[in-house]
């Protein structure tokens, strides 16, 4: 098992290039299943979830290769329709392969994705939408056997909640379906916009992606393309929080401020100076941090749930009382107990977390239990007095491409050890 060992109380200072977005890359990789030609995805981060998606593509009969921050996929022949349980469990977001395989092959067999890190991860909206498009779903012992006896057809689908994954699955299934599909109350996250742009690059006919109404007109076939994955907005937020908690200043290259319109004001309320440019975000946290009255996580364009843990880490050292309300997932405070072990003063009750700023955090042995919560523990370690060991780094590696290298290059005393 690997751990990150951090010696804290070092101000970060320097420039970091932000990686490509995990939550876009995974959907685009699933989308490659629909393409009868070769796809080259550029700016693809080296993440365990990306490698898991490549393994699924290879198991389906596609040929995928990861090199130099790119993934080359040849899906000319998709020979399989089943995604085995071991691969489904490796990555929660494997469920988006359902829509893509159905779109390409008209049938698909896969097990429920893993769950529970953030609370239950139901897929009811995914399944009911696909049924409206002509999919017959038979569930046996946790395995979903899906087929379209009369082919996939367009439908008018209203989502009860703007689910990111459900929106992606419908777009992927609809791209090659007969007729037009309209998604009402679609998710508006930038990763949805990226997926629609990618599919259109491959010959799909999608409009409205990034708004709450997405229209997909099915086409006969999709060809390959070259496409650059968007920057990771949550990784940008993570490094902004790293600057904030260490009182440092960072220049984030390949960072898209327009994706962070609900996040940047929070850092400004904390007392940070933030300057945004075309593809850069500069943050300076030279002044002592101030508490932020209330942060509510919401679907985009609201404050992203994925930034909740890392912003909470920064708030542990912000003078005064901050309140966070987690509205998206039912169990996304598992990093709180670990932060408290480092001296943070945080109380949670249901969706609400109340953070009283403290003067000091203290190094401790802590354990990651999910991706963003693990990143929050690293940030706390950067500011803590003494040495912090963050165990179960595997969670962090799912979403951060060599986080210790990025942080070391701007002054952190951090290294990876095998325990
Ligand atoms: C995506 O998850 C992201 N993952 C998550 O990022 C992100 O937190 C989430 O969107 C919200 O922005 C990927 O893109 C790979 P949802 P997803 O469907 O698609 C409920 C990270 O840290 N729901 O928008 O699973 C669900 O339980 C990860 O990078 C249903 O009830 O999110 C949740 O409470 C974590 N039924 C809420 O909706 C459904 O059929 C939002 O889920 C689907 C979802």
Among 111-115, 330-334, 392-396, the minimum mean pLDDT is found in 111-115
C-alpha span between 268 and 244 (Å, rounded): 10
Phi-psi region of 318 (alpha: psi -120 to 50; beta: other; left: phi over 0): beta
Q: What is the pLDDT of residues 119-136, one digit of tens each?
A: 777 899 999 999 999 999
Mean predicted lDDT score pLDDT of the chain: 96
Pocket around ligand 1: residues whose beta carbon is below 6 Å from it?
Answer: 22-23, 26, 93, 121-126, 161, 163-166, 187, 305-306, 328-329, 371-372, 399
User: What b-and-e string marks burial along 299-325, b requiring 16 or more CB atoms within 10 Å of the CB?
Assistant: bbeebbbbbbbbbbbbbbbbeeebebe
Tell me, in angstroms, the distance from the centre of ligand 1 to residue 386's CA: 36
Domain boundaries, the chain: 2-19+232-418, 22-218
Please tell me if the domain spanning 2-19+232-418 has the same topology as the one spanning 22-218: yes
Question: What pLDDT score was predicted for residue 216?
Answer: 98
CATH class of 22-218: alpha beta
In what order do the strands lie in the sheet containing 365-367? 365-367, 387-391, 2-7, 413-418
User: How far is residue 346 CA from its own chain's centroid?
Assistant: 25
Nearest ligand 1 atom to alpha carbon 123 = 40
DSSP letter (8 states) at residue 32: G
pLDDT of residue 59: 95
Pairing verdict, β 38-42 and 226-228: parallel
Q: Hey, whose CA ends up nearest to atom 26 of ligand 1?
A: 121
- CA–centroid distance, 417 to ligand 1, in Å, is 32
* Of residues 39, 33, 164, the one with CA closest to residue 106: 33
Over 80: is that where the pLDDT of 209 sits? yes
Looking at the CA of residue 371, tell me the nearest atom of ligand 1.
Answer: 22
Confidence of residue 249 (pLDDT cuts 50, 70, 90): very high
Whether the per-residue pLDDT at 16 is higher than 80: the answer is: yes
Helix (H, G, I), strand (E, B) or coil at 177: coil
- Specify the pLDDT at position 90: 80
Residue 326: its pLDDT value, please? 98
pLDDT tens digits for range 32-80: 999 999 999 999 999 999 999 999 999 999 999 999 999 999 998 899 9
94: its two tokens: 């494997």
Cα 135 to Cα 11, 83, 141, 242, distances in angstroms: 54, 17, 19, 46
User: Contact at 8 Å (CB) between 169 and 5?
Assistant: no
How far away, in angstroms, is 359 Cα from ligand 1 center? 35
Region of poorest pLDDT, from 104-113, 220-229, 310-319, 378-387: 104-113
Closest C-alpha to ligand 1, atom 21: 306
How far apart are alpha carbons 145 and 137 in whole angstroms?
Answer: 6
**Complete DSSP assignment for 280-310:** EEEEE--SPPB--SEEEB-STTSB-GGGHHH
* Closest ligand 1 atom to Cα of 370: 22
| pLDDT tens-digit map of 163-185 | 999 999 999 999 999 999 999 99
Quick one: pLDDT at residue 88? 84
Provide the percentage of residues in the chain whose pLDDT is more than 70. Answer: 99
C-alpha to C-alpha distances, 64 to 39, 74, 79, 81, 298, nearest whole angstrom: 9, 6, 14, 17, 35
What is the reported pLDDT for 415?
98
116 included as an active-site residue = yes
Q: What is the pLDDT of residue 416?
A: 98
Task: Kindly indicate the confidence band of residue 159, based on its pLDDT and cuts at 50, 70 and 90.
Answer: very high
CA dihedral 49, 172, 304, 337 (to 10 degrees): -40
Helix, coil or strand: residue 151: coil
Share of the chain above pLDDT 90, in %: 91
Cβ proximity of 70 and 76 under 8 Å:
no
Q: Which CATH superfamily is domain 2-19+232-418 in?
A: Enolpyruvate transferase domain (3.65.10.10)
In eight-state DSSP terms, residue 255 is -
Per the structure block, which two tokens stand in for 67?
């090199």
Mean pLDDT confidence for 149-161? 96
Read off the pLDDT band of 115 (50, 70, 90): low
């Amino acid at each position: 098992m690997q751990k990150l060992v951090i010696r804290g109380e070092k101000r970060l200072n320097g420039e970091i290039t932000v990686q490509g977005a995990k939550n876009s890359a995974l959907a685009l990789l699933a989308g490659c299943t629909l393409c009868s030609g070769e796809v080259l995805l550029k700016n693809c981060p080296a993440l365990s979830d990306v490698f898991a998606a490549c393994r699924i593509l290879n198991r389906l009969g596609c040929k995928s290769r990861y090199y130099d921050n790119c993934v080359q996929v040849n899906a000319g022949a998709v020979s399989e329709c089943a995604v085995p349980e071991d691969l489904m469990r490796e990555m929660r977001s494997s469920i988006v392969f359902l829509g893509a395989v159905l779109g390409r092959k008209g049938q698909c067999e896969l097990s429920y994705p893993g769950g529970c890190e953030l609370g239950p991860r139901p897929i009811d909206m995914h399944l009911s939408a696909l049924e409206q498009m002509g999919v017959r779903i038979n569930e046996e012992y946790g395995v979903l056997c899906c087929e379209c006896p009369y082919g996939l057809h367009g439908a008018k689908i209203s989502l009860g909640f703007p689910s990111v994954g459900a929106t992606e699955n419908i777009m992927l299934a609809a791209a090659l379906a007969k007729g037009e599909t309209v998604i009402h109350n679609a998710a508006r996250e930038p990763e949805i916009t990226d997926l629609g742009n990618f599919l259109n690059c491959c010959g799909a006919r999608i409009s409205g992606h990034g708004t709450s109404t997405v229209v997909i007109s099915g086409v006969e076939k999709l060809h390959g393309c070259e496409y650059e994955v968007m920057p990771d907005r949550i990784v940008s937020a993570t490094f902004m929080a790293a600057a904030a908690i260490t009182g440092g200043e960072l220049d984030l290259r390949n960072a898209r401020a327009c994706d962070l319109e609900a996040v940047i004001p929070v850092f400004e309320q904390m007392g940070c100076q933030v300057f945004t440019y075309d593809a850069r975000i500069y943050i300076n946290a030279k002044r002592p941090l101030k508490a932020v009255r209330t942060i509510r996580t919401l679907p985009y364009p609201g404050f992203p749930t994925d930034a909740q843990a890392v912003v909470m880490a920064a708030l542990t050292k912000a003078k005064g009382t901050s309140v966070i309300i987690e509205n998206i997932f039912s169990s996304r405070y598992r990093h709180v107990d670990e932060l408290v072990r480092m001296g943070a003063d945080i109380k949670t009750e249901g969706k609400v977390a109340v953070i009283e700023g403290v003067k000091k955090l203290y190094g401790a042995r802590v354990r990651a239990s999910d991706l963003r919560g693990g990143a929050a523990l690293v940030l706390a370690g950067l500011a803590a007095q003494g040495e912090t060991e963050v165990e179960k780094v595997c969670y962090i590696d799912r979403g951060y491409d060599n986080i210790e290298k990025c942080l070391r290059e701007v002054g952190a005393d951090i290294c990876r050890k095998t325990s």
